C-alpha cells in the first residue's frame, strides 16, 4: 500500500496528492509517469508525475476527474492509501541526458494546457535546478481552473498565463500566446507542449509553421504501462510505437494526432459521454476526442 501524505483540491475537479512511494521517488526523472490503482478492484490509471522527492520518498500526482476511476480516487484523503502505485514508467525527457552546456545555449519554451501544467512542472523545475530558465506558457479555460501558478513562477524564466475566456492573464488559447511571443521578437529553439491531445495537435501545427522543433507527451489509453500489450500504440512518422515504453514524449511534428484522438475513444460509449457531460459540465477541457474542445 502507498500512503497518501497530503491531498487537496487545486481547482474544481483537479486534485493534488503527495504519495509515499520510495522506489518510484528514488528512480524518477522528469517526463516519466506512474500507473495507479486506488483500490483492489480498480482499473490501472496512468498519471504523469508532478513532483518527486527522492530523500523523502514521495511522489506528487495531479489528476482531473474524467470518469469513474478518477472520481473514486478524488475521494481519497491524507492517511488513505493507493493499493498500487508503479513506476517510474516511460522514458525520461531527452534533455535529462543532454550535455548541460549545449542545453544552456538553447531557448526553451514550455506550453502547458489544463492539467498538463502538472507534468510540465518537474521538467521546468529540473532545468531551473540546473541553472536553465525556460519560458512557460500556461493555458487554462478560466481563472478558476488555473493550477500551480505560484510553483511554476518560482522555477520558470518568464511565465505567461492565458485563459480561454480572458478571466485572468492573457486572453485566448495557448497558440495565440505563442504567436504573440514570436511576433514580439522571442526566439525559441525547442518547444515542449503537454496538455489535451487537441491542444498539442494545434500547438504542433503552429510550431511547424514557425519552424520550432516540438516535443509532446502523449496520453493514450494504457493498461500495463510496461510494453506488454500495445493498447497505447501510436503512429510516429508512419511507424507504430508504444507510448508507455518508447515515449510518452515524441517529436510532435511526426505524431499522427487524428489517429491518436480516435483511439482515445475506444471505450467511450454514449452513456459514458453523457456521464462526462453531467459530471464535468463546463470544466471539461477536451482531449476526449469527442467534444471538439
Given the rule CB under 8 A, which of 97-105, 113-121, 140-148, 255-263 is the region that contacts another protein?
Answer: 255-263
The reply to whether 223 sits near another protein by the rule CB under 8 A is: yes
Q: How many residues bind another protein (CB under 8 A)?
A: 35
Q: List strand residue ranges (DSSP E) for 214-287, in order.
A: 214-217, 233-236, 239-242, 249-251
Give the cell for residue 15.
486534485
Angle of CA points 180, 182, 186, to nearest 5°: 120
The reply to whether 290 sits near another protein by the rule CB under 8 A is: no
Residues 67-126 close enough to bind another protein by CB under 8 A: 68-69, 83-89
CA 72 to chain centre: 20
Write the binding mask 12 to 51 for another protein: x where contact by CB under 8 A, - elsewhere. Answer: -----------xx--x---------x---xxxx-------
How far, in Å, CA of 270 to CA of 145, rounded?
26
Of the residues 102, 267, 271, 278, which one makes contact with another protein according to CB under 8 A: 267
Given the rule CB under 8 A, which of 10-18, 100-108, 127-135, 262-270 is the region that contacts another protein?
Answer: 262-270
How far, in Å, CA of 274 to CA of 36, rounded?
25
Q: Does residue 111 contact residue 195 with C-beta atoms inside 8 Å? A: yes
Of the residues 235, 273, 275, 283, which one makes contact with another protein according to CB under 8 A: 235
Positive or negative, the Cα torsion across 164, 217, 90, 158? negative
The reply to whether 226 sits near another protein by the rule CB under 8 A is: yes
Which of 195, 20, 219 has the alpha carbon at shortest distance from 118?
195
Shortest distance (Å) from residue 38 CB to another protein: 9
How far, in Å, CA of 274 to CA of 51, rounded?
33
Given the rule CB under 8 A, which of 93-101, 139-147, 168-176, 233-241 is the region that contacts another protein?
Answer: 233-241
- Please state, as a whole number, how many other Cβ atoms lie within 10 Å of the Cβ of residue 4: 21
Q: Which is nearer to another protein, 27 or 154 (CB)?
A: 27
Shortest distance (Å) from residue 96 CB to another protein: 14
Residues 116-175 close enough to bind another protein by CB under 8 A: none
Q: Which is nearer to another protein, 17 or 137 (CB)?
A: 17
Angle of CA points 254, 259, 263, to nearest 5°: 130
**Residue ranges that bind another protein, judged by CB under 8 A:** 23-24, 27, 37, 41-44, 68-69, 83-89, 223-224, 226-231, 233, 235, 240, 245, 259, 262-263, 265-267
Amino acid at each position: 500500500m502507498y500512503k497518501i501524505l497530503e491531498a487537496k483540491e487545486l481547482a474544481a475537479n483537479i486534485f493534488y496528492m503527495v504519495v509515499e512511494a520510495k522506489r518510484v521517488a528514488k528512480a524518477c526523472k522528469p517526463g516519466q509517469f506512474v500507473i495507479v490503482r486506488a483500490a483492489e478492484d480498480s482499473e490501472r490509471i496512468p498519471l504523469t508525475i508532478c513532483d518527486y522527492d527522492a530523500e523523502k520518498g514521495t511522489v506528487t500526482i495531479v489528476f482531473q476527474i474524467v470518469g469513474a476511476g478518477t472520481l473514486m480516487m478524488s475521494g481519497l484523503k491524507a492517511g488513505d492509501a493507493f493499493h498500487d502505485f508503479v513506476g517510474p514508467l516511460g522514458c525520461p525527457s531527452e534533455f535529462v541526458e543532454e550535455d548541460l552546456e549545449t542545453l544552456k545555449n538553447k531557448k526553451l519554451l514550455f506550453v502547458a494546457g489544463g492539467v498538463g501544467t502538472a507534468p510540465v512542472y518537474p521538467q521546468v523545475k529540473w532545468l531551473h535546478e540546473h541553472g536553465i530558465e525556460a519560458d512557460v506558457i500556461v493555458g487554462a479555460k478560466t481563472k478558476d481552473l488555473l493550477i500551480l501558478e505560484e510553483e511554476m513562477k518560482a522555477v520558470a524564466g518568464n511565465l505567461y498565463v492565458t485563459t480561454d475566456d480572458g478571466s485572468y492573464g492573457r486572453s485566448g488559447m495557448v497558440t495565440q500566446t505563442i504567436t504573440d511571443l514570436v511576433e514580439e521578437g522571442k526566439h525559441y529553439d525547442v518547444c515542449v507542449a503537454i496538455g489535451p491531445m487537441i491542444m498539442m495537435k494545434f500547438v504542433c501545427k503552429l510550431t511547424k509553421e514557425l519552424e520550432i522543433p516540438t516535443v509532446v507527451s502523449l496520453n493514450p489509453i494504457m493498461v500495463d504501462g510496461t510494453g506488454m500489450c500495445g493498447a497505447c500504440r501510436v503512429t510516429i512518422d508512419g511507424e507504430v510505437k508504444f507510448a508507455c515504453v518508447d515515449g510518452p514524449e515524441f517529436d510532435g511534428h511526426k505524431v499522427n494526432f487524428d489517429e491518436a484522438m480516435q483511439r482515445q475513444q475506444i471505450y467511450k460509449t454514449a452513456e459514458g459521454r453523457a456521464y462526462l457531460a453531467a459530471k464535468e459540465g463546463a470544466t471539461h477541457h477536451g482531449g476526449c476526442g469527442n467534444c471538439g474542445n
